[in-house]
Amino acid sequence: MLLEEEKPLHGASTGDDQRPPSFREEDQAPSRSKNALLAALTSPQFCSIALVALLYAVCILSGNMRFLTNDDTSIQDALAGNLTGDPYPFHPFISPLLGTVMSALYRSVPGHPWWFFYSHVFMAIGSVMMSYVLLRLFKAARLPQLVALGLVAIFDLIFFLYPIMNVSFTVVPCVFGMGVAGLLALYGTRRSYLSLICICMATAFLCTCHRSESGMVVCAFLCLALLVCASRELCKGADPVSPEEREPLWRRVPRIASHYLPAVVACIVITLLIPQYNSATMAHVDSPEFLQFFSLAVQRLSPRLLR
């Protein structure tokens, strides 16, 4: 009888040790949230943003951030109306399309350095994209994360510290275009032909409006990235079960070309059209504001020419 009475007690004790499933899930929830937070903080996306933000913090604290050449100062003077007193959208170094937007910003919020701010936003986005591409490549190579972060930090210091401290309208679109080209080289095979066309057109438009010559360099970067994607897809095949199921090369080439060639053509067309539009627009700009701006610019930059 005693043994029979002890069995329920023993069973009851084992039942207390076996917690309900809902209780076990609640107990594991904090550890899951910690793991998710740790994964987010160590992801290439967050690390690339953190590295560039740290680089910008160093540059801002140094207090020496400026334009590299007088050309950027001249652009800002025209757009802000520093010489003529009224924001002016035309300057021979940038597209009137971009100048119209920037001069409207100067009219809406006078006194804010919109050209300086826009250049650094453009530069920061390109730097983050480049850092992210490098981190993804190092991760694919199974490099330890601390080593990868150190290498990317050294890369950012060497290639981005000086352009951030001395921002230039020629370098900024090149950095942005290189970042987009790197992302295309990584993920271009996963995109539809329509999204590739939109990405290439938008990148070429923004960079060519910023600087026509830099837009041509960016166009070359984008075409090279698309060529990398096409070559990867051409060599990859589909790992068929038998050699008979492999798609013939003469079928793969037209299919892959039809996927990437429209993006290449769209990028080249945008890069060629915007400089033509800029030239046609600037050829008809002979307003008094335009002449006043350049006469004041000459007086400010080269006073000896007027003696």
Beta bridge partners of 67: 167
Tell me, yes or no, whether 18 lies in a domain.
Answer: no
Q: Are residues 56 and 164 in the same domain?
A: yes
Name the residue type at position 91.
H
**Counting beta carbons within 10 angstroms of the beta carbon of residue 204, is it exposed (0 to 12), middle (13 to 18) or buried (19 or more)?**
buried
Mean local confidence (pLDDT), 194-205: 94
What pLDDT shows up at residue 65? 92
pLDDT band at 10 (very low <50, low <70, confident <90, very high): very low
On whether both 148 and 49 belong to a single domain, the answer is yes
Please tell me the predicted confidence (pLDDT) of residue 181: 96
> Is 158 found in the same domain as 55?
yes
State residue 290's pLDDT score. 62
Same-domain pairing of 67 and 146: yes
Q: Which of 85-94, 155-164, 235-244 bottoms out in mean pLDDT, i.e. has the lowest?
A: 235-244
Q: What is the pLDDT of residues 232-283, one digit of tens each?
A: 888 875 455 445 556 677 788 888 888 899 999 999 999 999 999 998 888 7
How many beta carbons lie within 10 A of that of residue 114, not counting itself?
Answer: 21
Please indicate, yes or no, whether residues 223 and 143 belong to a single structural domain of this protein: no
Whether residue 66 is found in the same domain as residue 156: yes
| 255 found inside a domain | yes
- CA distance to 64, 244, 260, per residue, from 228 (Å): 39, 27, 10
Q: Of 176, 173, 137, nearest to 52 (Cα)?
A: 176
Residue 302 domain-assigned? no
**Domain-located, residue 97:** yes
Asked whether residue 151 falls in the same domain as residue 213, the answer is no
Q: Where are the alpha helices (DSSP H) in 211-301?
A: 212-236, 249-283, 288-301
Residue 291 lies in a domain: no
As a residue count, the chain comes to 307
Task: Please provide residue 51's backbone torsions phi and psi, each rounded to the nearest 5 degrees.
Answer: -65, -45
Round the average pLDDT of the chain to a whole number and report it.
Answer: 83
Share of the chain above pLDDT 70, in %: 79
For residue 1, pLDDT beyond 50: no
pLDDT one-digit tens code per residue, 161-182: 999 999 999 999 999 999 999 9
146 and 199 assigned to the same domain? no
Tokens of 108: 């809406």
Residue 73 lies in a domain: yes
Q: Tell me the H-state helices in the chain.
A: 2-17, 21-41, 44-62, 70-80, 96-108, 114-140, 145-159, 161-165, 171-187, 193-210, 212-236, 249-283, 288-301
Task: Report residue 291 as tokens.
Answer: 């002449």
Q: Is position 35 within any domain?
A: no
Domains in the chain: how many in total? 2
Average pLDDT over residues 51-59: 95
**Whole domain around residue 134: which residue ranges?**
42-169
The pTM (predicted TM-score) of the whole model is 0.81
For residue 293, pLDDT over 70 is answered with no
| Residues 160 and 228 occupy one common structural domain | no
- Judge if 136 and 206 occupy the same domain: no
21 falls within a domain: no
Q: What is the pLDDT of residue 151?
A: 96
110 and 198 inside one domain:
no
Question: In terms of pLDDT, which residue wins out, 143 or 297?
Answer: 143
Average pLDDT for residues 199-227, to the nearest whole number? 95
Distance CA 307, CA 301 (A): 13
Indicate if 199 and 164 belong to the same structural domain: no
